[in-house]
Amino acid sequence: MNDTAVLKFGGTSVKSIARIQHVCRIVESLSQSRPVVVVVSAMGDTTDYLLKLARQVSSSPDKRELDLLLSTGEQISIALTAMTLRQMGVRALSFTGGQVGIFTENVHNKARIVDINGDVIERALADGRVVVVAGFQGVNEKGDITTLGRGGSDTTAVALAVSLGAGVCDIYTDVDGIYTADPNVISGARLLSRISYGEVLEMARLGAQVIHPRAVELARRYGIKLRVRNTFHPEMEGTTIDQGENMEIFRTVSGVAIDKDQACVAIMDVPDQPGIAARITQALCEENIVIDMIMQSFHPTIGLNNITFTVNDSDLDQTINSLSALKDELRAREVLADPDIAKVSLIGAGLVGQPTIPAKLFGVLGANGINIKMISSSEMKITCVVARQQADRAAALIHQAFELDAVCDTRA
């Protein structure tokens, strides 16, 4: 491990020139004592604006050209950040993902990083430069610009920390860290000083949007400690994300997450035969549709199954179209959809082997008239699908029932 500081600043942190200047003061202060690599996102809602422009000229923009367009957002940010640092007397250089050798697979819009050639960054650091890198982007083996998908700047920062041998990656955003729940929804949500990779992965996958799950998974794989910090309160330590040793001793339950960007799809009365589920999931895989919760109900008297699962609501129409095209082949009766759902999840390192936890969870929802449509569980989470309009109330009730507003957090 070396002492290179790898910092990532999200879109809200660089939304305006004034905010970029504030970010640069943080960087300038840190650069006086150690080498610094800064990863920045596009300014504010720039990516959404660029997507809107693309859809004004094409209902289905070419993915290669879309990546070329979207990557310009980060290029604006890095150039302005480097200019500002230079104005402050800091010897800064900005680079695109391709310029610093971030190589990805040959996929557009959702590419994964394959390798990083760190020579360019290491030479710049050795020359005493602060290096400013565009997040969210790389190049494939053809030399085409690719993008990493939503949250890709987090992944860029962690990948650079791995490549440079840094032990810590600081993710700066517009909140103080990770809370027991969304403080905008639940007023009693408490800031956590420490949390495990596994818990954060569950939170991120289940609706919490502080840090992208791909970045957390990469950090866990290579042992990079993450710190989620507030750009506008840099004196605060924020939340540390690590392996979570002894986490269960301090805290059985860590938080509640809400994901309203969900829809439920069911294909009804498919034959109870080997290979049916595989055929359904393969068809959706070919459309790059991610399936989450899956439930199969069996009708023993007629030898048929109903297969129900959840998808992101942005994939709902495509999912329905794919299954409708498959329905006759499978001899299924019909495809049904429920767009009015949300996931409410209880997350913690100590859920396994404690039957009182699901009993309390289901009990509090039932006692308050909230119907559970689907349930899934894993080592670190229990998820209930409820009506979307009941999600916030359900989360608040769970948060209160497990006394998360009184959580006593301890740094180990």
Is there a domain that residue 251 lies in? no
Q: Mapping DSSP to helix (H, G, I), strand (E, B) and coil, where does residue 380 land?
A: coil
Among 198, 225, 245, the domain-final residue is 245
Same domain, 276 and 239: no
Is there a domain that residue 409 lies in? no
Same domain, 332 and 229: no
Q: Are 312 and 263 in contact (CB under 8 A)?
A: yes
Task: List the CATH number of the domain containing 215.
Answer: 3.40.1160.10
Same domain, 86 and 224: yes
Is there a domain that residue 412 lies in? no
174: domain range? 5-245
Is there a domain that residue 410 lies in? no
**CA–CA distance, 163 with 158 (Å, rounded to integer):** 9
Is there a domain that residue 167 lies in? yes
Same domain, 262 and 311: yes
Same domain, 101 and 123: yes
Which pTM was predicted? 0.83
Report phi then psi at 124, rounded to 5: -65, -40
**CA–CA distance, 225 with 45 (Å, rounded to integer):** 28
Same domain, 200 and 275: no
Same domain, 241 and 266: no
For 63, what's the count of Cα atoms within 13 Å in the CB-facing half-sphere? 10
Is there a domain that residue 211 lies in? yes
Q: How crowded is residue 183: how many other Cβ atoms within 10 Å of its Cβ?
A: 14
Among 245, 269, 298, the domain-final residue is 245
Residue type, 308: T
**CA–CA distance, 366 with 344 (Å, rounded to integer):** 14
Same domain, 54 and 188: yes
Is there a domain that residue 408 lies in? no
Per-residue pLDDT in tens (0 to 9) along the chain, 412 residues: 689 999 999 999 999 999 999 999 999 999 999 999 999 999 999 999 999 999 999 998 999 999 999 999 999 999 999 999 999 999 999 999 999 999 999 999 989 999 999 999 999 999 999 999 999 999 999 999 999 987 899 999 999 999 999 999 999 999 999 999 988 889 899 999 999 998 998 888 776 777 888 999 999 999 999 999 999 999 999 999 998 776 555 668 889 999 999 999 999 999 988 899 999 999 999 888 989 899 888 776 678 889 999 999 989 999 999 999 999 899 899 999 999 999 999 998 878 778 899 999 999 999 999 999 999 988 889 999 999 999 999 999 999 999 998 765 544 4
Same domain, 230 and 281: no
Among 245, 267, 283, the domain-final residue is 245
Is there a domain that residue 204 lies in? yes
Computed on alpha carbons and rounded to an integer, the radius of gyration of the chain in Å comes to 23
Same domain, 238 and 327: no
> Integer distance in angstroms from the first to the last C-alpha of the chain?
21
Which pairs with CB-CB distance under 8 Å and at least 24 residues apart come from 216-224?
216/241, 218/155, 218/158, 218/159, 218/162, 219/158, 219/161, 219/169, 222/158, 222/162, 223/167, 224/158, 224/161, 224/162, 224/166, 224/167, 224/168, 224/169
Same domain, 231 and 267: no
Same domain, 220 and 348: no
Q: How many domains does the chain have?
A: 2
Task: List the CATH number of the domain containing 356.
Answer: 3.30.2130.10
